[in-house]
Structures are given as structure tokens and as C-alpha cells.
């Protein structure tokens, strides 16, 4: 199982210049928030990730790919409205 600080550091490295907050709830699920460190604008929040599913480098890479997809989808939806 990955330590939450390691997960945050890896996500910040992958999604720079965004900052990342990771928190674990009582049911051992993880919430990840990606945001701009200066403005505080939140780009993505994902909840309900199981800590036990994040124990391998492959699982972390799959999470990174999923978060990239979600960020891109959010960006496309925002540009449709503007």
C-alpha cells in the first residue's frame, strides 16, 4: 500500500504546475484534488478511490491516466460553454 504523501508527491510531479491534496477517509477511500497553487482554482476532485487499489506502480500509472482523461474532459466541457 502506498503512503498518502508518496501518492501526493507523484501526482504533483505528473500534473505540475498543479498542486495536489490527497486525503483518506474512515472507510479507507482516497479523495484527490488537483488545483492551481496560486489561484486556488480547483481543476478536478475525485473521491472514493480505494487505498488498497493503489499499491503498485501500475495502479498509480492507471490513476494518472484516468485523472488526465478527466482533466481533458473537464477542459473540453468548459470550452463548450464559453
Q: Which tens digit of pLDDT belongs to each residue from 16-60?
A: 999 999 999 989 899 999 999 999 999 999 999 998 888 889 999
Q: Is the pLDDT of residue 1 over 90?
A: no
**Given this model, what pLDDT does residue 74 score?**
83
Q: Is the pTM of this model over 0.85?
A: no
Q: Mean pLDDT, to the nearest integer, of 47-76?
A: 91
- Angstrom CA distances, 28 to 19, 53, 60, 80, stand at 22, 11, 16, 36
Peptide bond connecting 17 to the previous residue in cis, omega within 30 degrees of 0: yes
pLDDT bucket at 81, cuts 50 / 70 / 90: low
Amino acid at each position: 500500500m502506498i503512503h498518502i504523501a508518496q501518492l501526493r508527491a507523484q501526482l504533483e510531479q505528473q500534473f505540475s504546475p498543479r498542486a495536489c491534496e490527497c486525503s483518506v477517509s474512515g472507510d479507507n477511500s482516497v479523495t484527490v484534488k488537483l488545483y492551481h497553487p496560486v489561484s486556488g482554482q480547483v481543476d478536478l476532485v475525485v473521491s472514493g478511490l480505494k487505498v488498497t487499489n493503489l499499491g503498485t506502480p501500475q495502479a498509480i500509472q492507471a490513476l494518472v491516466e484516468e485523472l488526465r482523461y478527466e482533466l481533458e474532459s473537464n477542459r473540453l466541457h468548459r470550452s463548450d460553454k464559453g
